[in-house]
Amino acid sequence: MKNNDNGVPDMNMSSDENQPKYKGEIYFSNPPKAIEPNNSGAKTKRKKKKFALNAKTLAVVCAILISTAILTSTAISCVNDIFALNRNSLIVEVNIPEGATTKKILKILDDKKLIKQRTFCSLFIKAVSKVKKTKDPQYLNGVYYIKADMGVEAMLNEFKVVQTAAKTIKLVFPEGWTIYQMINKIDENKVSKKEYLYAALNETKFNLSFVPTIPSNKNRTQMLEGYFFPDTYEFFVDENVNSILNRLLSNFDNRWTKEYTERAQELGLSTDQVVTIASIIQKEAANADQMPLVSSVLHNRIAKPSVYPALECNSTKDYITRFVKPALGDVKAAEYFDVYNTYLSPGLPPGPICNPGIKAIEAALNPKETGYYYFQHDKSGKIYMAKTLDEQNANTMDVLRVNNK
Q: What is the amino acid identity at position 72?
A: T
Same domain, 180 and 280: yes
Residue 12: pLDDT above 50?
Answer: no
* Cα–Cα nearest to 311, from 354, 343, 270: 343
Rounded Cα distance between 1 and 7, Å, is 11
Same domain, 282 and 330: yes
Out of 31-35, 65-69, 347-351, give the one with best mean pLDDT: 347-351
Residue 16 lies in a domain: no
Name residue 232's beta-bridge partners.
172
**In 312-402, which ranges are E strands?**
374-377, 383-386
Residue 32 lies in a domain: no
What pLDDT is recorded for position 8? 43
Residue 366's domain comprises 168-372
Same domain, 282 and 366: yes
Residue 4: pLDDT above 70?
Answer: no
Rounded Cα distance between 13 and 1, Å, is 8
Same domain, 201 and 123: no
Domain count along the chain: 2
Tell me the percentage of the chain whose pLDDT exceeds 70.
Answer: 76
- How sure is the predictor about 272, in pLDDT bands with cuts at 50, 70 and 90? very high
Same domain, 224 and 312: yes
Query: How far from the centroid of its chain's Cα atoms is residue 77's Cα?
Result: 23
Same domain, 264 and 356: yes
Q: Phi and psi of 199, rounded to 5°?
A: -65, -45
Task: Check residues 102 and 340 and name the one with the higher pLDDT.
Answer: 340
- How sure is the predictor about 36, in pLDDT bands with cuts at 50, 70 and 90? low
What pLDDT is recorded for position 117? 79
Same domain, 139 and 211: no
Mean pLDDT of all residues belonging to the chain = 83
What pLDDT is recorded for position 15? 44
Residue 38 lies in a domain: no
Domain boundary among 133, 162, 191: 162
Residue 6: pLDDT above 50?
Answer: no
Same domain, 205 and 341: yes
Same domain, 154 and 219: no
Task: Check residues 52 and 367 and name the one with the higher pLDDT.
Answer: 367
Query: How far from the centroid of its chain's Cα atoms is residue 229's Cα?
Result: 23
Mark out the alpha helices in 94-190 (DSSP H runs): 102-111, 118-132, 152-159, 179-188
Residue 6 lies in a domain: no
Same domain, 130 and 214: no
**For the segment 246-271, what is each residue's pLDDT rounded down to a tens digit?**
999 999 999 999 999 999 999 999 99
**Mean pLDDT to the nearest integer, 159-185:** 87
Residue 375: pLDDT above 80?
Answer: yes
Same domain, 232 and 358: yes
Same domain, 251 and 358: yes
